[in-house]
Structure 1
C-alpha cells in the first residue's frame, strides 16, 4: 500500500472537491500517511464535470497528480464516460447507481455501486450524497481507517452540519458492510 491514486468525479455542486480534501485530511492528519489533492473542474464550475485527485503514500510523494487511478469514484454519467478510460487495469470503480449507467467495457476491474443520492434524499439533504459515498468508499477500500475518516469529516464540514454529515458517513458505511457481507460486487 505504498502509493494509492484515487479520483473522485462528478459534476460541480456535488461536493466532489470536498470529499477529496476530506480523504486527504483523513490520511495525513489522522492516519499518519502523506497525501496530496489536486482539483479540476470545467469552466462552468457548477454543473460541469469535475474531479478531485488524491494521492496517498507511506513515503514521499514526488508527483502529486493521478495518472492511472487505482480507485475511481464517479457520481455523474459525464464524469464516468470521461474518466473511466484512466482507471488502472484491475482497479476499483465505485458509482452512484442512480446517476451512472454502465457501458460495456473490456477493462478488468472490481465494481461497486451505491444509491448515494437516494440515501441522501431520504435523509432530507441531497447535498450529503458525497459524504454517503465517502462512507461507502472508506468501508470498501480500507484506504484509511473509519475513525480517521470520522474525525476528518467532523472537522471539515460547515459548523452545525457535523451530525448530519456523520450520519451520512455511517449510512454509506453500513450499506457497504451489507454489500460486502452478501458478496455483491460486479465485473
Structure 2
C-alpha cells in the first residue's frame, strides 16, 4: 500500500455510505492497526441529495485529514458521479452503480461497472444492504484492508439479527468484483 491511500464513497444521502466509510476506517485502524481518518459531507438536502464519505488510510500518522486526490471512488448515483468522481489520481479507479450512473466521467483512471443496488434487491433481497455490498466491492478493488478485516468490521457494527444478511452482502460485493477483475 502507498504511504497514503484515499477512498471516496459517494451517492445519495440515506444510502449508508457514511457508515460504509466509518466501517472501512475501523477495519483499517482498529482491526489492522493502520492510521485512518474518515470525514463526510452532505448536500444541502441530506436525504436524497448527494453525499460523500472519505477515508484516508496510511502507514504513518495522517497530517491532513481531507482527501486531496483520491485513489479510488465509488459513485452510486449520477449526481454523485458528476459532483464527486473528480480528482481521481491518474491510474486510480472509479466504481459506479451501472443502473444509476449512465454517464460515468472519463479520465486517466479505470471505471468498473456493477449493479450494486440491483444486487442488493435481487441477490440479497434487501436494498438497505447496498452500502455493505459497495464496501465489499471497494475492498476487493483496492486491497486497502484484507477481506477478513472488512467483514469483521461490518459484523461489529450490525445487530445480531442482521449479521447473516450483512455477511452475505459484504461477501457478494467482494466476490462480484473479483469476478470483474478476473475477466
TM-score scaled by length of structure 2 = 0.95
Residues 120 and 132, structure 1, Cα contact 8 Å, conserved in 2: yes
Residues 78 and 104, structure 2, Cα contact 8 Å, conserved in 1: no
Q: Does 1:178 align with 2:179?
A: yes
Residues 26 and 149, structure 1, Cα contact 8 Å, conserved in 2: yes
Cα distance, 1:102 vs structure 2: 2.4
**What whole-Å deviation, never above 9, does each CA across 1:72-93 have from its counterpart, x for those lacking one?**
1110110100112221222111
**What whole-Å deviation, never above 9, does each CA across 1:123-157 have from its counterpart, x for those lacking one?**
21101111111111111211100010011000012
**What whole-Å deviation, never above 9, does each CA across 1:13-65 have from its counterpart, x for those lacking one?**
10010000000000011111010000100222100000001100000101100
Alpha-carbon distance in 2 for matches of 1:104, 1:42: 20
- Structure 1: unaligned runs, 5 residues or longer: 183-187
Residues 72 and 87, structure 1, Cα contact 8 Å, conserved in 2: yes
SS at match of 2:55: strand
Residues 89 and 108, structure 1, Cα contact 8 Å, conserved in 2: yes
Aligned residue for 1:111?
A: 111
TM-score scaled by length of structure 1 = 0.93
Residues 114 and 133, structure 1, Cα contact 8 Å, conserved in 2: no
* 1:1-187 to 2 correspondences below 5 Å: 1-103=2-104, 105=106, 107-122=107-122, 123-182=124-183
